[in-house]
Amino acid sequence: MDNNKLLQGNQACAMGAIKAGVKFCAGYPITPSSEIMEILAEELPKVEGKFIQMEDEIASVGAIIGASVMGVKSLTPTSGPGFDLKQENIAFAAMAEIPVVIVDVQRSGPSTGGATICAQGDLMQAKYGRSGDCPIIALYPNSVKEIYKTTIRAFNLAEKYMTPVILLLDETIGHMRENINVDDYQDMEIINRNFPEESATDYLPYRPDESGVVRLVPFGNDKGYRYVISGMHHTENGMPSIAKNSIQNSIERINGKIDKNKEEIWEWEEIDTEDAETLVIACGCVSRSAVEAVKVARSKGYKAGLFRPITIWPFLDEPLKEALKNIKTVIVPEMNQGQLVHKINELINKDVKVVQLNIFDGSLIMPEQIIEVIEEACHK
Amino acid sequence: MSIRDYVKEDVFPLFTCPGCTHGTVINTFLRAADELKLDRDKTVIVCAIGCAGRTPTYLDFNVLRVTHGRALAFATGVKLARPDVKVIVFMGDGDALAIGGNHFIHAARRNIGITAVVLRNEIYGMTGGQYAPTTPVGAKATTAPYGMIEPSFDTCKLAASAGATYVARGDIFNLNNLYNVMKSALQHKGFALVEALTSCPIQFGRRNKVSDPAKMVQRIKNMVVTKAVAEKLSTEEQAEKFIIGEFVNTREIELTERYAKLLDINKKENEVVITMS
């Protein structure tokens, strides 16, 4: 049977989640993300899973963390002001090392902004939206197909590194329909969290393995593993502690496990970068226009290339540095006032020219607009 | 089992102030749990922030200690993920009724199988004596230096009107009653609420001329009346007292039981089985 389907981005996200083994979703209605939970409300019971619409976004993250503590893969979708509210418990998941996935279908903000207006304003919030040195993994697919497989990957990374993962989507990609054959992803690896080898008597829940990752036995187990999970600084046995070394150790561990394993977390795409002198760096829906812009620029004789981060956090420092080696001009089109560009500026040496193209009126950045910037930048 | 076997004495000292009576509620809970032979490995305790939130971390159970006010939200996920597990939530009055007020009424409305214990000490203790939505009118707090001007919540009425199917009140003086309602709450199938009146001599007492812990206990003794005694009081007299005992004890379908029914769609060829009631 031909399983080629025309799917909406949000639909692909819900289906990818089911494929990843999600059995619990809690959400609160908010445009443009609501389709994800509507679909999961219908689909989860068919796979013995559950959906609950909570009283607000804070409770939604709380509920999915609660379910994950019981060993159940869980997800919550949201957008804009809802993403603001979710930060509190995303920080808890990072601190207590509970794997969950938060989908943020970005809309124009701040505040209510525009519910169906496309914008890329949450890149920095995904990383810096919480107090303290809070680690995060954030992934940013740019097509319906990529949403499907990146949703699965988000769960794999969450389970493997015992951490919350944010999936950033653009409103336009979330609501766009494209062809996808989900059978193409039939063999994708599904990762489930590791359990400890030691018995309950020797068990220290927050003693990490060699890769820096903790192994938390789901609560309600019948093997006698009993311990405390807390958002407060804690020692290896999970008990609250504000002793200097437990503070230092926990902050180092939750951030260090991401940093140590960043090469495995990183994913990006490069087009025509081998001999490029002008590099367009773009993600999400803007990168689709950038692909076309680079193609046209090449046909006009410009040595243009594209670097597209798929992993946004941890930031792709080394791969981008490598791609920037022979670059004279960098062009950063973004549907915000300039967020990605801050990280790029950190990596760039002085003689490279950085040109920003920031459009945040809700209209998509078109290939012609990027081509215009390439031409202008290369002639000056 | 001895009550001490449920307590992780190796991680003492406790953080609580001298004269604090939160421990009395925990003690009563442990006695009820022991009597009911509660399986610790099939029990999850959820708690959050504040004195009442931290106290359960000393118990040898699986304890999930979360963000301020959100214990019931996390507990909802715990219960839905594993309906076979007993879920018990300890909260302070600020935790449950101020920052967590929304989660409180919705957990009650859903009639989800959670035993919720609210420790009402009428003040924010851990943060230094600020007023709570339970601080009595006229009482002093660091943020009510001229006396509290806001009315208080009646936790039991709030829970009952939101849909809780078990509602009771106890206090740290009349321990037989507290023990009995705790036991009934733990055996109840739906959302069960026990409000326990406790005393905070340090943050509440010192500012309100009752810093002596024994006098704080005496104060609670004078504050409460049984239902039988309350019936003989006028409405005005009743308003000045906290009635202790059971207020609601009904059997309605619990949320995860409803969900189990919904999951039957898999067995009946996708026939929709949920009917409006």
Tell me the per-residue pLDDT of A301-355, one tens digit each, with 9 for 90 and over.
999 999 999 999 999 999 999 999 999 999 999 999 999 999 999 999 888 999 9
**Residue B258's CB: how many other CB atoms inside 10 A?**
15
Q: Count Cβ atoms below 10 Å from residue A35 Cβ, excluding itself.
A: 19
pLDDT tier at B274, thresholds 50, 70, 90: low
User: How far apart are the C-alpha atoms of A311 and A283, rounded to whole Å?
Assistant: 10
Chain A residues in contact with B259 by the CB 8 A cut-off are: 50
Query: In angstroms, how far is CA B181 from the centroid of its own chain?
Result: 11
Supply φ then ψ for residue A373, to 5 degrees.
Answer: -65, -40
Pairing of strands A304-309, A268-271: antiparallel
Residue B137's pLDDT band (boundaries 50, 70, 90)? very high
pLDDT at residue A350, rounded to an integer: 83
The tens digit of pLDDT for each residue in A286-301 reads 999 999 999 999 999 9
Cα A335 to Cα A360: distance, rounded to the nearest angstrom: 5
Residue identified by tokens 């046909």 is A299
A218-231 per-residue burial string, b: 16 or more CB within 10 A, e: under 16: bbbbeeebbbbbbb
How confident is residue A191, by pLDDT bands cut at 50, 70 and 90? very high
Among residues B190, B198, B143, which one has the least CA distance to residue B29? Answer: B198
* Residue B40 contacts A, CB cutoff 8 Å: yes
In 3D space, the residue among B84, B94, B247, B81 whose CA is nearest the CA of residue B159 turns out to be: B247
SS3 (DSSP) at B17: coil
> Are A63 and B259 in contact (CB < 8 Å)?
no
**Statement: residue A380 has pLDDT above 80:** no
Distance CA A75, CA A101 (A): 5
Beta strand A353-358 with B242-249 is unpaired
Q: Looking at the DSSP assignment, which residues form a beta bridge with residue B153?
A: none
Residue A375 is predicted with a pLDDT of 96
Place A379 in a pLDDT band, splitting at 50, 70 and 90. Answer: confident
- Please give the distance of CA A243 from its chain centroid, rounded to a whole number: 33
B61, B66, B78 member nearest A226 (Cβ): B61
Place of tokens 């090392």: A97
Burial A41-60 (b: 16+ CB within 10 A, else e): bebbbeeebbbbebbbbbbb
Residue B277 pLDDT > 60, yes or no? no
Q: What is the DSSP string of A246-266?
A: HHHHHHHHHHHHHHHTHHHH-
Burial class (CB in 10 A: 0-12, 13-18, 19+), A338: middle
- So what's the pLDDT on residue A325? 93
Mutate one of A28, A43, A55, A76 to test the B interface: name it (highest B CB count within 10 A). A55
Task: Specify the pLDDT at position A293.
Answer: 98
Share of chain A above pLDDT 90, in %: 96
Mean pLDDT (chain B, rounded)? 95
Per-residue pLDDT, averaged over B148-156, amounts to 98
Q: Give how far B194 is from chain A: nearest CA, Å.
A: 22
User: Which tens digits make up the pLDDT trace of A201-233?
Assistant: 999 999 999 889 999 999 999 999 999 999 999
Task: Report the residue of chain B nearest A233, measured CA to CA.
Answer: B65
Chain B environment of A25 (Cβ under 8 Å):
none
Contact B18, B213 (CB under 8 A): yes
Taking contacts as CB-CB distances below 8 angstroms, the residues of chain A near B57 are: 228, 230, 239-240
- Residue B266 pLDDT class (50, 70, 90 cuts): confident
| Token pair for A63 | 């509920």
pLDDT at B267: 73
Question: pLDDT at position B268, please?
Answer: 63
d(CA B219, CA B199): 9
Which residues of chain A form beta strands (DSSP E)?
4-8, 24-27, 50-53, 74-78, 100-106, 137-139, 164-170, 177-181, 228-230, 268-271, 278-281, 304-309, 311-313, 329-334, 353-358
Mean pLDDT of B243-265: 95
Mean pLDDT of chain A: 96
B215/chain A closest Cα distance in angstroms: 32
- Say how far apart CA B94 and CA B80 lie, in whole Å: 26
Extract the tokens encoding A138. 């954030």
Q: Collect all residues of chain A within an 8 Å Cβ-Cβ radius of residue B8.
A: 239
- Give the model confidence (pLDDT) of B154-177 as tens digits: 999 999 999 999 999 999 999 999
- Interface residue of B47, B62, B95, B112 to substitute, partner A, most A CBs within 10 Å: B62
The pLDDT confidence band at residue B235, using thresholds 50, 70 and 90, is very high
Three-state DSSP class for residue A135: coil
- Please name the member of A70, A74, A229 whose beta carbon is closest to the beta carbon of B82: A70
A84 — pLDDT class (breaks 50, 70, 90): very high
Instruction: Give the list of residues 6+ apart from residue A204 with CB closer than 8 angstroms, or none.
Output: A236, A237
**For an interface test with A, which of B12, B15, B66, B256 has the most A Cβ atoms less than 10 Å from its Cβ?**
B66
Identify the pLDDT of residue B264.
85
Query: Which pLDDT does position B1 carry in this prediction?
Result: 84
Q: A81: burial class by Cβ within 10 Å (0-12, 13-18, 19+)?
A: middle
Q: Hey, what amino acid is at B268?
A: K
Q: What distance in Å separates the CA atoms of residue A65 and residue A368, rounded to the nearest whole number?
A: 44
Look at A227 and B63 and tell me if their CB atoms are within 8 Å.
Answer: yes
Q: Helix (H, G, I), strand (E, B), or coil: what is residue A105?
A: strand
CA distances from B206 to A308, B19, B23, B52, B201 (A): 62, 12, 20, 19, 6
Interface touch A220/B80, C-beta < 8 Å: no
What structural domains does chain B harbor?
3-251 (3.40.50.970)
Number of H helices, E strands in chain B: 11, 8
Nearest to B41 among A88, A89, A221 (CB): A221
Report yes or no: A126 and A136 within 8 Å, Cβ to Cβ: yes
Pairing of strands B86-92, B43-47: parallel
pLDDT of B273 strictly over 60: no
Instruction: Judge whether A303 and A248 are in contact, CB under 8 Å.
Output: no
In whole angstroms, what is the distance from residue B104 CA to residue B66 CA? 15
> Could you tell me which residues are beta bridge partners of residue A77?
A103
Please answer yes or no on whether A239 and B57 come within 8 Å at the CB atom: yes
**ipTM (interface pTM):** 0.97
pLDDT over 80 at A258, yes or no: yes
Question: What pLDDT score was predicted for residue B269?
Answer: 58
Residue A71 and residue A221: Cα distance in Å, rounded?
Answer: 10
Q: CB–CB of A64 and B61 under 8 A?
A: no
Question: Which structure tokens are listed for B79?
Answer: 């219960």
CA proximity to A224, closest of B62, B251, B218: B62
Q: Can you give the pLDDT at residue B99?
A: 98
Q: Is pLDDT of B17 > 90?
A: yes
Q: Would you call B102 and A24 a contact, using CB atoms and an 8 Å cutoff?
A: no
Q: Is the pLDDT of residue A1 over 80?
A: no
Q: Which helix (H) or strand (E) holds B147?
A: none
Place of tokens 């006695």: B31
Supply the pLDDT for residue A152: 98
Q: What's the number of CA atoms in the CB half-sphere (13 Å) around residue B225?
A: 13
Q: Do A58 and B41 touch (CB under 8 A)?
A: no
Contact B263 A45 (CB under 8 A): yes
Q: What is the number of residues in chain B?
A: 277
Which of A69 and B13 is assigned the larger pLDDT?
Answer: A69
B63: closest CA among A220, A233, A349, A61?
Answer: A220
Q: Residue A223: its chain B contacts at CB < 8 A?
A: 41
B250 interfacial to chain A (CB closer than 8 Å): no
- Structural domains of chain A, with CATH: 4-185 (3.40.50.970), 269-379 (3.40.50.920)
Residue B109, Cβ neighbours under 10 Å: how many? 16
